Structure 1
Amino acid sequence: MTDASQSMTPKSSIGRYAPIAAIAVFAIIGAFALRDYLSFDALRDNREALIAFRDNNFVLTILGFVGIYILIVTFSLPGATIATLTGGFLFGTFFGAAVNVTAATLGATLIFLAAQFGLGDKLKARMETSAGMVARIKKGLDENQWSMLFFIRLVPAVPFFVANLLPAFLGVPLRRFVISTFIGIIPGSLVYSSVGAGLGEVFERGENPNLGVIFEPHILLPILGLCALSVLPVVIKALSGKKDLSK
């Protein structure tokens, strides 16, 4: 290796880690600096100004909202749930859900690309050259990527940032990640957008929204049903003997 290539290697490595490092730094700073601004109280106190701005600048409101939502997701800032509620509050249940899903998918894609660029290739290469159980697990994930991607999006208990980073580290193709993210977050987004659409009445009563509504049986059970459908191909393969990770 020449001196020139040796001197360029550290810079190249730093450049690869820079995006994910920047996201981590902004996430830490944002967790402390923005928690009072991205909150339900902030939405309640500024609701009239937001509605007035939306009525006078509808397209600009959509663009601004999408931009802020993308930043929240990309940098894993606090307030993703509040942002989803705000989308429903400003734009209604269905249009608000469409805006929320689009913005969340774009933000998730950015953090996915940053993680994949910085660490994904190295981790994927290590898993592909590994033997034993690691190799069998990697093979199982490759065979059932669609099912597992939809599963981690649909399960309410899986943190959103985890569902963004894990596929990047496992070498999931970008197209597959984007499609599964967009479709997989629709049910949850519809639920919270619906809650957001009803915030006007909640504000009038001086109450707080029921953010645990997604865990109520009439909502949770259908989502769990979708989760079961997403992993059904994995179960069928296991039962039919086409996939065996124990050997």
Structure 2
Amino acid sequence: MNKKNILRTVLFLGLFIALAWFVRSRFDVSADNIRSYILSFGAIGPLIFMGLYAIGPIVVFPTSVLSLAAAFAYGIWPGMLYIVIGATGAGITGYIMGRFFGDSVLKFHQSKWAGNIYERMQGQDFLYVFILRLIPLVGFDILSYLAGMTRVKFLSFVLATVIGMLPGTFAYSLVGTSLASGDRTLILIAFSVFTLLLVTTYLFRNKVRTWLKL
């Protein structure tokens, strides 16, 4: 690794640690507290939420907690819309990080598992990203980093991310809304939908792995 890459790595890690420390020290990261924090901003609360979501890959915010918080605060609609916009922002952040810092920092190619994705994603962009958003065998942020590193077309990446995460976003929104309402019937329906999504992912995981050659 040359001096330029060493400096880039140090700066990246320094920024990452500083932001993560700031967020963890200033905020109690739970769905209820995030909900209260967002609602305290009134009309600009959705913008605050989407901004927090968008910087998630940098400060290691648990996105599942953010999604539930949005559903707690805003319900299925417009909560789902805010989650989609925020998660897309997070995906773009990860994509830019992967594209800018690249393999000099992230070193994904050294992992055989990630290396397989790295190689194949270069030629299949939209479909590959879409399937792995729909059946999330790869972490959300990791997939974003890899997409940036492999120079997946930006528009293809964004569209695949938005479309692919809609089922999961709906499930999270429904669960969060049901918990906020306290309605047992709605809670049962929500968790049934969420369970169905998990079971579907489990049943198709091997077929997806084989098809994508993971």
Say yes or no: TM over 0.5.
yes
1:222 shift after superposition: 5.5
Aligned Cα root-mean-square deviation (Å): 4.3
**Corresponding residue of 1:220:** 198
User: 1:117 is matched by which residue type in structure 2?
Assistant: F
Contact 1:93 1:197 (8 Å CA) reproduced: yes
Q: 1:220-239, aligned counterparts within 5 Å?
A: 220=198
Question: Are the structure 2 counterparts of residues 100 and 66 from structure 1 closer, same or farther at C-alpha, using a change threshold of 3 Å?
Answer: same
Question: Are the structure 2 counterparts of residues 86 and 164 from structure 1 closer, same or farther at C-alpha, using a change threshold of 3 Å?
Answer: same
**Corresponding residue of 1:190:** 170
Question: Are the structure 2 counterparts of residues 193 and 20 from structure 1 closer, same or farther at C-alpha, using a change threshold of 3 Å?
Answer: farther
Structure 1's unaligned 5+ residue stretches are: 1-8, 127-133, 239-244
User: 2:177 is matched by which residue type in structure 1?
Assistant: A
Seq. identity, %: 21
**Corresponding residue of 2:29:** 38
Q: 1:90-129, aligned counterparts within 5 Å?
A: 90-120=73-103
1:185 shift after superposition: 1.5
SS of aligned partner of 2:46: helix
1:40 shift after superposition: 3.6
Aligned residues: 204
Structure 2 residue 11 is matched with structure 1 residue 24: no
Match of 1:70 among 43, 54, 57: 54
1:76 shift after superposition: 4.5
Match of 2:138 among 151, 158, 161: 158
Question: Are the structure 2 counterparts of residues 185 and 168 from structure 1 closer, same or farther at C-alpha, using a change threshold of 3 Å?
Answer: same
Match of 1:84 among 53, 67, 77: 67
Structure 2's unaligned 5+ residue stretches are: 110-114
Larger radius of gyration: 1
Deviations 1:83-113 (A, max 9, x none): 1111112222132111111111112212221
User: 2:45 is matched by which residue type in structure 1?
Assistant: T
CA distance, structure 2, for counterparts of residue 14 and residue 209 of structure 1: 52
Question: Are the structure 2 counterparts of residues 209 and 16 from structure 1 closer, same or farther at C-alpha, using a change threshold of 3 Å?
Answer: farther
Contact 1:195 1:209 (8 Å CA) reproduced: no
1:24 shift after superposition: 3.4
Deviations 1:139-160 (A, max 9, x none): x433333222112212245322
